[in-house]
A and B are shown apart, each in its own frame.
Chain A
């Protein structure tokens, strides 16, 4: 069994996130986004790869949308209403509430302003939303008998979630976009330590490590304050949801602190509506906002009011939030046209602007003139400040998450190719986790966990319940054998609790597997217990002096008196005890026992365990018959080497 991961979008790029994962036979589509950079077919994921017959209902078990950004949800109405997918769609409550706003806004811009052919209508959006099943955080949802999904808080934007999916024994997490550090209004991503086969994570900032957020905030506030103090106007082009609220909280706070009276405006429309949602969805915001909620709703901005068009040319300083973020058109462009020529004014730009927008032009160098179209040219004299706020986690955050979850495999999506490659290397080398960065339309297969169900005998279960831990010190042999520094730093004390490992897996006659306790096995099989016993007849050199006395004795071995025997044994015992000081040697007169190692004098001339081509002549040596069980193999070898090399005096 394997997990197959087909990347339809956001493979080695940012935009139109869409990954179809087949996991133990279940197919889930994570995100269904559109690419904002394209106007043609390329804006949507290539859905035909899912099913040649376009029978999506059977091809997919469900769709999961992580958050309401268009590059994650943009293609959904198209897929459901135009392509005809009718299966379940899961998203969090805030996403369900805010996604139609975003979609509608986009549709308007697309159709009403650009006059494009309509891809989906308002009715489509409404219909699509009806199919959506809203889920709560950490709520386990059983999509069907085998497929279970669960949402975890992801930060990023209101309602953003990471999704955990589990089919049988295989489990995976798709992060969507997430943020590992909290910002002014949203918390950091939060997830349990799960056993995962696969983690699919975004990697927008795969190559960036951001330092303290406080410095960034300070910089922003300083720039804004300086501008309004000098009587200028500040234009903050921003997306309606997310950054606008964060910056607003930041500014409102600062305004309170500094007792500034300069008005902050929100351009009417989407943002106001979005603020309302934020106010309602407090439970999805950061801990800070939640804590103060009882006394003050952070989204009740004290200094923020609605903007009236007539105020554009008012002389007094002000701060204005206007959509869209990259000054690609709409109200922010309108205001930009009026305010850009005045050098007292300030325009802040979001961290990322798509090529072709005015925002992008402003970011690349500082142009003095911008050609809007053939007839219009804007004098740009105002100051430009680039925001470095981002709702995405940085490379360290990605590493931290991967380290925390420690999945067996990682797939990177939603990032720029070269940076993804670097991060992939890091994950593999630093964390030792297999990592992939597939391109669009590529498919990655990773092995999945599959457990075989087995019955268990009562004895086995009982043995599992009782603790059975053992301690072991790093053994003597390890030290003496290697003597290396590396071995020296082995743990002094190791603990093992083998209560589960003691079982034996058997396949019963009815082909069912069962785990039994080892004691039961023989009984089950109706067999006797066999033990392997080793034997060796070991020659031991005996000193000359001794030999003179024993020369006569040796040919007539059988006459060897009991006392002689025991004296030789005694000598051997002394020898062994001195060599193996810590071993527990038992002396039984006739023989010596050390664990399972048994040694006695061999009187047979042709002992079967004697290696006859031994170099030592018979006359110089006495023979000891040794036997031992397999468990003490190492010990036995050691004793024998001692015996062979010793001289009994």
Chain B
């Protein structure tokens, strides 16, 4: 190996001594030496380096190729293999560069430049800057490849931008098209980096570009279109005349004028004047925009596809042009307005030649184009203009609806996206003729070919229905037959078109109050069957649960309202109750919204719709999503709880308690902060407690269980706790759905039954009274939401009747209450989103045993409190109970005005007076916040407190303070 190395070096030496450059073979040998032998010693490397360097010094007529390869080898050597050599190579090259760079051959100089630049880029320590003179001289050399390479890599050389600009601009005249293209690309790059501040320079550049639009080469025209776009951008930035800025200015001004207009009648005409004036200003400012716009429009008929795509892309970026010209782009016929308008160009005569007729039908052509790339680009640039002009948006939509039927997925998606954008900007005005296109073609196409479009389609349809309710009603009336089951009773829900109609139909109630009744309630029920599919598409508007709630509510509302549907509706309910497994039964029982009487229904509907509309607005959206996460996981926990009930019944109490503990831990994994704040979390927590107590209590009713194992009074204790917990659930949570309430009521019945089953602990009369009232309450609720009470409740009701009629108050103990227990089964509980937890938190700032509040015994003391209230409503009253260590209790009533209207979280600072300070140096007392609820339905005053917040008030131990205060 060593021998080999020496041989190679020797040959090199020989050839160099004859002042011949290294042969290609020798170079190849060196390359293989460097490449293939990983641990080539440093000495070898340096000798190789030296050889190569010497080779470069040799100038022979045939040395060009050799030098080229030598330089290549040097570069590779320093870059890839031995980065530590880079400095050596760099130094030798740059010192010897004088000869190489200034050598007669431009190609060699360029090779040397390339080597130097790439080495210096690799190593941040090496700085290499190409002299402007050298750069220009090389560019001006006759060698075209070198010129091309230099221009393409101009940015790497750190040539001054002014010089570079001049050179690039000059070479746009080069006879070689690729040089022209590279020069134009270079100009684009310069424009993009925004180095110009001279308007004249830009104008010159622009004029040159306009000339080049007529270039014979596709690639040059394409590059030119890009340059023009960048020039426009640069110009706008420089002039601080960004079209958008001007537009904002315009809108601001207009708004102000309009505001004045509401005070002054006569301003109206002035407003118009101002309008015109403003537009004029706007046009002046965007003069270049208009020019560029027309220039680009003339390019959309280019024969090269790439040029067309580029032109549309560029068009899309121009912020603002006048409505006239915009409209012109949608009509191939030259509109009258445009004919008169002359483009006020500041550039060469070529610019004048580009008349407004160039714009004629530009977008039309784009949308009709053969290449999907062009169609897509045209679709996407349409979106930027829809906002500016309502008329344009309308006409553009005419064209866009055809595009949703395009063969290419990309185009279809883009068209939908554009429409969606228009919808979000509130400029999607759908007309009837569009609708057929929509429904007839688009929806069907996603049926068998492009299911990925479905969500988009649905969302657009939903939007349409929401904003054009009456129209959508007409459509639905027309297609109602298609939605209804066919003669065989089969529903065509597999078909995407039916699904789409359903989406359209369910969006209608959100548009206008009156028309909800036009839609058959069945349609909403049908939509429920496609819940998953629809909710995925509408995720942007509402989640699945609210959609479900909405659908079932709608189906109920519309059925109550129109008498003609009433009969059908009842039969529908019958069907539901006949078939309890049917999904719609679950749904209607899952969501219950108070509907009182038919007479009162109209107002109810309205408020409901208002709520729904609020729901669909964007503000609510993000908040809902956060909540949803919690609710989903809580529901998962609740399902587990439901599943353990069979274990409870089988007597595996220990296991059950273990599982429940896990569940509690799971609940706790959610932020402890949010445990308090979030209703669902708190509810689940409480519910878990209840189930735990239930499980423990149930143990006492197991036949196998021997009572001796159980401490006496334990059951009573458990039942007492259970009752308290259940009461808490009923009172501390608001916004419980009817189902949740029913669930809790059933548990109360169960507790009562347990109590009644054990003669030793029951207080028969009270418990019976409670049982009866709870049962009737359940019945009441069931009627309200028109569902069947559970088997357990029915049995309890029957037994109650039996007791009241037959035995008539005689031996109650004989009644086998514990038999009733067997029919109880813990149902699945699903939380709805509305659950809220009422609570209050007290804090006494800056108060600790080290830092007590000073007081004068016998005199009142003010206790500063920070009170945080959650979900308080106007019907709640707040009291403070202050208990001192001496068992004296004081109540302080807080004026409801203090915490005002209901809101989620309120914080207030309050100074609670405590009048009876004890006669001691130090005393401690406890403050409790008590929330009373004034409930209209029951006329009961229920008190509820939240986690007693204990605080200590310590009097100063020092006499000084005492003296001071007494004196």
Which A residues lie at the B interface, using CB under 8 A?
A: 181-182, 187-188, 190-195, 209-215, 218, 254, 256-259, 286-288, 291-292, 394, 396, 400, 403-404, 406, 430, 462, 465-467, 469, 471, 473, 489, 491-497, 499-500
Residues of A within 8 A of B368 (CB): 181-182, 212-214
- Return the 6 tightest CB-CB contacts between A and B, nearest first: A493-B204, A214-B402, A465-B142, A497-B173, A182-B370, A492-B200
Residues of A within 8 A of B357 (CB): 430
Supposing A211-B332, A211-B333 touch, asked if A287 and B170 sit within 8 A by C-beta, the answer is no
- Whether, in the assembled complex, B216 has its beta carbon less than 8 Å from a beta carbon of chain A, the answer is yes
Supposing A182-B369, A193-B303, A430-B355 touch, asked if A466 and B141 sit within 8 A by C-beta, the answer is yes
- Whether, in the assembled complex, B868 has its beta carbon less than 8 Å from a beta carbon of chain A, the answer is no
Is the pair A288, B399 in contact by a Cβ cutoff of 8 Å? no
Is the pair A467, B204 in contact by a Cβ cutoff of 8 Å? no
Supposing A212-B402, A291-B372, A495-B169 touch, asked if A467 and B139 sit within 8 A by C-beta, the answer is yes
A399 vs chain B, min Cβ distance (A): 8
Is the pair B444, A188 in contact by a Cβ cutoff of 8 Å? no
Q: State the CA gap A211–B399 with chains docked (Å).
A: 11
B287 vs chain A, min Cβ distance (A): 11
A-B contact pairs, 26 of them (CB 8 A): A181-B365, A181-B368, A182-B368, A182-B370, A188-B370, A212-B368, A212-B402, A214-B399, A218-B437, A256-B448, A257-B444, A288-B370, A288-B372, A291-B408, A292-B407, A430-B357, A465-B142, A466-B142, A467-B147, A469-B171, A469-B173, A471-B166, A489-B346, A491-B203, A492-B201, A493-B205
Is the pair B437, A396 in contact by a Cβ cutoff of 8 Å? no
Is the pair B370, A494 in contact by a Cβ cutoff of 8 Å? no
Is the pair A497, B174 in contact by a Cβ cutoff of 8 Å? yes
Q: State the CA gap A194–B301 with chains docked (Å).
A: 16
Q: State the CA gap A192–B172 with chains docked (Å).
A: 20
Is the pair B399, A212 in contact by a Cβ cutoff of 8 Å? yes
Residues of A within 8 A of B688 (CB): none
- Which residues in chain B, 163-214, are within 8 Å of chain A measured between CB atoms? 166, 169-175, 200-201, 203-205, 207-208, 214
Is the pair B142, A495 in contact by a Cβ cutoff of 8 Å? no
- Whether, in the assembled complex, B893 has its beta carbon less than 8 Å from a beta carbon of chain A, the answer is no
Residues of B within 8 A of A182 (CB): 368-370
B499 vs chain A, min Cβ distance (A): 15
Residues of A within 8 A of B172 (CB): 495
Q: Which of B173, B174, B201, B444 has a CB less than 8 Å from the CB of A258?
A: B444
Q: State the CA gap A491–B349 with chains docked (Å).
A: 9
- Whether, in the assembled complex, B662 has its beta carbon less than 8 Å from a beta carbon of chain A, the answer is no
Q: State the CA gap A480–B532 with chains docked (Å).
A: 77
Q: State the CA gap A387–B399 with chains docked (Å).
A: 20
Q: State the CA gap A259–B441 with chains docked (Å).
A: 10
Beyond the given A288-B370, A466-B141, A489-B347, could you list 20 further A-B residue pairs with CB under 8 A, ordered by the A residue number? A191-B303, A193-B215, A209-B333, A212-B398, A286-B370, A287-B372, A396-B332, A396-B360, A404-B303, A462-B142, A465-B142, A471-B169, A471-B170, A492-B203, A493-B169, A493-B200, A493-B204, A493-B207, A494-B204, A497-B170
- Whether, in the assembled complex, B364 has its beta carbon less than 8 Å from a beta carbon of chain A, the answer is yes
- Whether, in the assembled complex, B331 has its beta carbon less than 8 Å from a beta carbon of chain A, the answer is yes
- Whether, in the assembled complex, B251 has its beta carbon less than 8 Å from a beta carbon of chain A, the answer is no
A257 vs chain B, min Cβ distance (A): 5
Chain A CB within 10 Å — which of B208, B298, B372, B407 has the most? B407
A506 vs chain B, min Cβ distance (A): 23
Task: Give B170's nearest chain A residue, CB to CB.
Answer: A469
- Whether, in the assembled complex, B361 has its beta carbon less than 8 Å from a beta carbon of chain A, the answer is yes
B599 vs chain A, min Cβ distance (A): 46
Residues of B within 8 A of A466 (CB): 140-142
B303 vs chain A, min Cβ distance (A): 6
Supposing A193-B303, A404-B302 touch, asked if A218 and B216 sit within 8 A by C-beta, the answer is no
Task: Give B436's nearest chain A residue, CB to CB.
Answer: A222
- Whether, in the assembled complex, B445 has its beta carbon less than 8 Å from a beta carbon of chain A, the answer is yes
Residues of B within 8 A of A467 (CB): 139-140, 147, 170-171, 173-174
Supposing A466-B140, A466-B141 touch, asked if A491 and B204 sit within 8 A by C-beta, the answer is yes
Q: State the CA gap A465–B141 with chains docked (Å).
A: 8
Residues of A within 8 A of B298 (CB): 403
Task: Give A498's nearest chain B residue, CB to CB.
Answer: B173
Residues of B within 8 A of A404 (CB): 301-303
Task: Give A406's nearest chain B residue, CB to CB.
Answer: B214
Q: State the CA gap A97–B60 with chains docked (Å).
A: 63
Q: State the CA gap A43–B302 with chains docked (Å).
A: 38
Residues of B within 8 A of A259 (CB): 444
Is the pair A287, B365 in contact by a Cβ cutoff of 8 Å? no
Q: State the CA gap A467–B148 with chains docked (Å).
A: 13
- Whether, in the assembled complex, B440 has its beta carbon less than 8 Å from a beta carbon of chain A, the answer is yes
- Whether, in the assembled complex, B371 has its beta carbon less than 8 Å from a beta carbon of chain A, the answer is yes
A390 vs chain B, min Cβ distance (A): 14
Residues of A within 8 A of B399 (CB): 212, 214
Q: State the CA gap A493–B203 with chains docked (Å).
A: 8
Chain B CB within 10 Å — which of A192, A212, A259 has the most? A212
- Which residues in chain B, 389-445, are within 8 Å of chain A measured between CB atoms? 398-399, 402, 405, 407-408, 437, 440-441, 444-445
- Whether, in the assembled complex, B681 has its beta carbon less than 8 Å from a beta carbon of chain A, the answer is no
B369 vs chain A, min Cβ distance (A): 7
Q: State the CA gap A397–B226 with chains docked (Å).
A: 25
- Whether, in the assembled complex, B244 has its beta carbon less than 8 Å from a beta carbon of chain A, the answer is no
Residues of B within 8 A of A218 (CB): 402, 437
Task: Give B407's nearest chain A residue, CB to CB.
Answer: A288
Is the pair B370, A287 in contact by a Cβ cutoff of 8 Å? yes
Q: Which of A257, A492, A495 has a CB less than 8 Å from the CB of B173?
A: A495
Q: State the CA gap A467–B402 with chains docked (Å).
A: 51
Residues of B within 8 A of A257 (CB): 405, 440-441, 444-445
Residues of A within 8 A of B207 (CB): 491, 493
Supposing A218-B437, A494-B204 touch, asked if A210 and B216 sit within 8 A by C-beta, the answer is no
A483 vs chain B, min Cβ distance (A): 17
Is the pair A211, B364 in contact by a Cβ cutoff of 8 Å? yes
Q: State the CA gap A195–B405 with chains docked (Å).
A: 40
Is the pair A287, B402 in contact by a Cβ cutoff of 8 Å? no
Q: State the CA gap A190–B172 with chains docked (Å).
A: 26
Is the pair A211, B331 in contact by a Cβ cutoff of 8 Å? yes
Task: Give B345's nearest chain A residue, CB to CB.
Answer: A489
Residues of B within 8 A of A499 (CB): 175
Is the pair A496, B347 in contact by a Cβ cutoff of 8 Å? no
Q: State the CA gap A212–B403 with chains docked (Å).
A: 12
Chain B 221-245 interface mask (CB, 8 Å, partner A; 1/0): 0000000000000000000000000
B347 vs chain A, min Cβ distance (A): 7
Residues of B within 8 A of A190 (CB): 303
Supposing A258-B440, A495-B170 touch, asked if A192 and B203 sit within 8 A by C-beta, the answer is no
Is the pair A287, B371 in contact by a Cβ cutoff of 8 Å? yes
A300 vs chain B, min Cβ distance (A): 15
B795 vs chain A, min Cβ distance (A): 54
Chain B CB within 10 Å — which of A187, A214, A288, A466 has the most? A214
Task: Give B136's nearest chain A residue, CB to CB.
Answer: A467
Task: Give B348's nearest chain A residue, CB to CB.
Answer: A491
Residues of B within 8 A of A462 (CB): 142
Q: State the CA gap A478–B441 with chains docked (Å).
A: 63
Q: State the CA gap A134–B398 with chains docked (Å).
A: 44
- Whether, in the assembled complex, B74 has its beta carbon less than 8 Å from a beta carbon of chain A, the answer is no
Is the pair A209, B370 in contact by a Cβ cutoff of 8 Å? no
Task: Give B344's nearest chain A residue, CB to CB.
Answer: A489
Q: State the CA gap A462–B357 with chains docked (Å).
A: 44
Task: Give A470's nearest chain B residue, CB to CB.
Answer: B170
Supposing A193-B303, A259-B444, A497-B170 touch, asked if A187 and B370 sit within 8 A by C-beta, the answer is yes
Residues of A within 8 A of B364 (CB): 211-212
Q: State the CA gap A215–B437 with chains docked (Å).
A: 11
Q: State the CA gap A256–B301 with chains docked (Å).
A: 33
Chain B 362-380 interface mask (CB, 8 Å, partner A; 1/0): 0011011111100000000
Q: State the CA gap A466–B441 with chains docked (Å).
A: 61
B262 vs chain A, min Cβ distance (A): 42
A256 vs chain B, min Cβ distance (A): 8
Residues of B within 8 A of A497 (CB): 170, 173-174
A160 vs chain B, min Cβ distance (A): 15
